[in-house]
Amino acid sequence: MPFVVPQMPLTVNIWNNIAVALAPSVVTTGNLSPGKRVGITNVPIGSNAQIAAAGASGLFMELLLPKLTDIRGLQNNGPESIVECPAGSGRFYLCVWVDDIGKGFANEHRMAILCQCNYQMVAASDISGTFGAVPVWPSPLP
């Protein structure tokens, strides 16, 4: 049985320039999971110092997305994408790595490695439209 593209039941908001507008750069669908659940102790690109400087910490998650989705990791020389998944939940992640799975085949899709992020959108009344460094996630977790 050939490998198929995974189901992508969640709506995902992606910001590729965190200092632009409140509206996300990309709204798409995705599949968020911790992968094989063996624990990831290091990232494949960048450094722990880069991730800490970006306000991110915690368990790394995998986000599977449709092919060619515009999402950016540390290898893009910044800014890295900020991801809210599920959309509207207040659960923000920093994208640290992106690559394609099944490139050139019918089952092609994109994978992003994410880590929990201490960024949260500022109030819609803030006309600057930037992210504020607010070290909170919603509680209880949706």
Higher pLDDT, 134 or 16: 16
Contact 74, 50 (CB under 8 A): yes
Structural contact between residues 32 and 62, judged by C-beta atoms closer than 8 angstroms: yes
Instruction: Report the C-alpha gap between 39 and 36 in whole angstroms.
Output: 8
Cβ burial 10-25 (10 Å sphere, 16+ → b, else e): bebbbbbebeeeeebb
Q: Span 112-123, mean pLDDT? A: 66
Q: Mean per-residue pLDDT for 64-92?
A: 88
Rounded CA-CA distance 8/32 in Å is 8
Q: Which CATH number does the domain 10-128 belong to among 1.10.10, 1.10.3470, 2.40.10, 2.30.30?
A: 2.40.10
Percent of all residues in the chain with a pLDDT value above 70, rounded to a whole number? 63
Which is more confident, 42 or 70? 70
> Does 121 score more than 80 pLDDT?
no
Q: How far apart are CA 91 and CA 119, in angstroms?
A: 9
Domain boundaries, the chain: 10-128
pLDDT tens per residue across span 14-58: 988 765 456 889 999 999 988 765 554 544 444 555 555 555 555
* Confidence tier at 129 by pLDDT (50, 70, 90): very low
